[in-house]
Amino acid sequence: MKKILDFTMIFCCMAVSFFCFASCSSDLDVQQEYAFTVEALPVADKIAGNETVEIRLDIKEEGHFTGTVYTLRYFQPDGTGIVCLSDGTVLKPNDRYLLSEMKFRLYYTSKSAGEAQTIDLYFENNWGEIQKLSFDFNAKDTASEEEAIPVESSIAGK
């Protein structure tokens, strides 16, 4: 009886050790690629010629891997304007620019008078994932807005 009990105990220990070693893998499971989104604060939808609009952007990652880098490209299918980074770097359409921060500002200066404008921003990480943001600006009618603002001809108290 003791031999049967010892044999059963040895068999159970061998079975458990076999299952433990079979489930192990020498490969490390390190995730490098995480999805991301780009959020923008609300932006004015009307712009006049030579007027500048600030665009505040924030890249949100679902996870973090230290080797991930982000780049920015832009296109302007409608209208004419200039896009600048907060450090003063003027961006050229379809050129790729490395982003050093996750929160940053862009400045769009309109060079169109009286026409609608659109800029498309493309954010890409080094894993090939792309996010697109589009900003549409309508032409601001400066003449009608100046007429709508009342002008005080006299200052009270003088």
Give pLDDT tens digits for 20-66: 565 566 665 555 677 899 999 999 989 998 999 999 999 998 877 77
Matching residue, tokens 């020498």: 26
Residue 14 pLDDT grade (very low, low, confident, very high; cuts 50, 70, 90): confident
Domains of the chain as residue ranges with CATH: 36-145 (2.60.40.2410)
Q: Is the separation of the CB atoms in 36 and 131 below 8 Å?
A: yes
pTM: 0.69
Are 140 and 47 spatial neighbours (Cβ–Cβ below 8 Å)? yes
Give me the amino acid identity at 42: P
Q: Rounded mean pLDDT of 94-116? A: 92
Residue with tokens 């990480």: 125
User: Residue 29's pLDDT is what?
Assistant: 54
Tell me whether strands 90-91 and 81-85 are parallel, antiparallel or unpaired.
antiparallel
Which of 105, 104, 92 lies closest to 54 in space, CA to CA? 105
